[in-house]
Amino acid sequence: MNDNFPVGFIGLGTMGLPMARRLLAQGIRLVVHDLDEQRCAELARAGAQVAASPAEVADQASIVLASLPTPWAVEQVALSASGLVHGKVSRIFVDLSTAGPQTAQKVADALAVRGITAVDAPVSGGAAGAQHGTLTMMASGPQEAVNEVRELLQMLGKKIFYVGARAGMGQMMKLINNLLSATALAASCEGLALGARAGLDPRVMLDVLNASTGRNSATEDKIPRAILSRSFDLGFSLQLSFKDIDLCIRSAEALGVPMWSGNHVRQFYLSALAMGGTDMADVARCFETWAGAEIASTASATAAVPSA
């Protein structure tokens, strides 16, 4: 950051709003845009300027960050008639979204024609990580551009990894991470539902797994927090989780790589959506239904004993 322009931030959703708040709290001048006027007004009260469009953001900010829910939203913000591609000041676009490598490459190519460098830096760590500045970031793009925005990224994340110079490499890394995270949750729920059906206490099962080789982020955090507790609230939507899994598999197909396990995981999350699930944790309900047992402590469990 070696100019006197404010920083742009587009997308004030579950992840974007706390990230924008952090930047403001650390003295960064922001110009923001979002379709939600109330969120824009909240940041305006905290000192941010509000722009009417992505192009207007890019008329004022040389570095523009975006945190958006879908590949389509990223393309619209970057390349539409009111997109930042038409801005007069913007030099670097940093996409913090999970939009997939194909979208990242398309956006990077189109912006390059207008002299704007694209950096894709998707994040991992959820809303809590965004709030506390402990996100993990996977950045790709020209090394010089990544170095220029590193100070900003360090205000948002605890670990910044540079994964490659080609547009979309950060996106590919993020999709692989999210697929493995979703796989760990599904596989762990399948095993716990089996154990519950056999009469084992899921709380005891988790203690054993977390002291053994079966431990993972689902057994250590997600399942105790949102499934064993029966809250089914991990704070990450099931629809977005399915989107990330689907993007990963489509990206693999584009490279000619078969995804045997990934396709099964995709079906698990699609089944959870078909059952009316809304949070990522709702994938557990599929395995509970199929096993006829709840992943709950013995005192409240409804585990069925197989009939002879």
Tens-of-pLDDT digits for all 308 residues of the chain? Answer: 566 899 999 999 999 999 999 999 999 999 999 999 999 999 999 999 999 999 999 999 999 999 999 999 999 999 999 999 999 999 999 999 999 999 999 999 999 999 999 999 999 999 999 999 999 999 999 999 999 999 999 999 999 999 999 999 999 999 999 999 999 999 999 999 999 999 999 999 999 999 999 999 999 999 999 999 999 999 899 999 999 999 999 999 999 999 999 999 999 999 999 999 999 999 999 999 999 999 998 754 444 444 43
Packed helices 169-197 and 101-113: angle between N→C axes, nearest 10 degrees: 160
For 172-291, CATH gives 1.10.1040.10
The answer to whether the beta carbons of residues 15 and 122 sit under 8 Å apart is no
Q: What is the CATH number of domain 7-166?
A: 3.40.50.720
Site of tokens 């403001």: 24
Q: Which positions ≥6 away from 194 have C-beta within 8 Å?
A: 291
CA distance 114 to 107: 11
Question: Phi first, then psi: what are they for 156, rounded to 5°?
Answer: -105, -25
CA distance 289 to 297: 17
Q: Please give the model's pTM, rounded to 2 decimal places.
A: 0.91
> How far, in Å, CA of 119 to CA of 139, rounded?
7
User: Where exactly does CATH 1.10.1040.10 map onto the chain?
Assistant: 172-291
- Res 251: pLDDT: 96
Give CA–CA dist 20/152, Å, rounded: 11
CATH 3.40.50.720 domain span(s) along the chain: 7-166
| Euclidean distance between CA atoms 122 and 140, whole angstroms | 9
Please report the sign of the dihedral spanned by the C-alpha atoms of residue 253, residue 258, residue 262, residue 263.
positive
Give catalytic residue positions. 174
Cα–Cα distance for residue pair 120/146, rounded to 1 Å: 9
Q: What pLDDT, on the 0 to 100 scale, is given for residue 140? A: 98
Of residues 108, 174, 101, the one with CA closest to residue 137: 174
Tell me the chain's radius of gyration from C-alpha atoms.
21
Neighbouring-strand partners of residue 137: 123, 160
Query: How many Å apart are CA 105 and CA 51, to the nearest integer?
Result: 26
